Amino acid sequence: YPEVVAAMKEVVEKGGFGTSVTPVSQFYFQQAFNNVMFGKWKKIAEGYGKMVLGYFGKTPCEPDAEVVKIAEEQLGLQPTTETVVDLNDKDPNKGLAVAFLQLVKKKVSYSYKEKVQSVFVKMKLKKKQFLLSHQMATQLLLMVKNMQLLLKVEKQLLTANYMTLM
């Protein structure tokens, strides 16, 4: 354990000084542990590697170029500057549309009579079909549009705040 604690300093420095709160604090410990158990940078912890590659956003300082190269090779991922939101929206298991459809699926149930009387819109998601009434589909699309607008505003505010800190 003392060796892992001692290894933390280098892991934090070479990782770009990401804020040490959950989950980054775990990434630091896992990588320090790996460095002690397997040799320095011989086994990159997945979370730490994704962090230095940019998959959780930009770290306050640039991660060490050699560590980035090692993470890229070991994880088989390319470094990215895309936002987490954009990355999640590209993932068929994540993103706004998936989240809203999951909510609709869990929260809304129709009686047989309502199903027969409604006009349905079929939506395909991960090879599953969801039947939504026309009214629900319209509400869902409106919610997605509103959420996208809010995320754009939030992204602009975060970027503006980040720029003022520089």
Q: Write out the DSSP string of 61-101.
A: SPPPHHHHHHHHHHHT-----S-HHHHHHHSTTSSHHHHHH
Q: Is the per-residue pLDDT at 11 higher than 60?
A: yes
- Provide the CA 93 distance to its chain's centre, in angstroms: 11
- Can you read off the two tokens belonging to residue 14? 């070479």
Predicted confidence at residue 69, as pLDDT, reads 98
Closest CA to 43 of 55, 30, 56, 25: 30
Based on C-alpha coordinates, what's the Rg of the chain?
Answer: 22
Least reliable range by pLDDT among 78-82, 106-110, 121-125: 121-125
> DSSP label at 22?
T
Distance between CA 22 and CA 27 in Å, rounded? Answer: 9
Pick the residue with more confidence: 164 or 42? 42
Q: Is the per-residue pLDDT at 91 higher than 90?
A: no
Under the banding of pLDDT at 50, 70 and 90, the label for residue 163 is very low
pTM: 0.60
Average pLDDT over the chain reads: 76
Q: Is the per-residue pLDDT at 10 higher than 80?
A: yes
Predicted confidence at residue 79, as pLDDT, reads 96
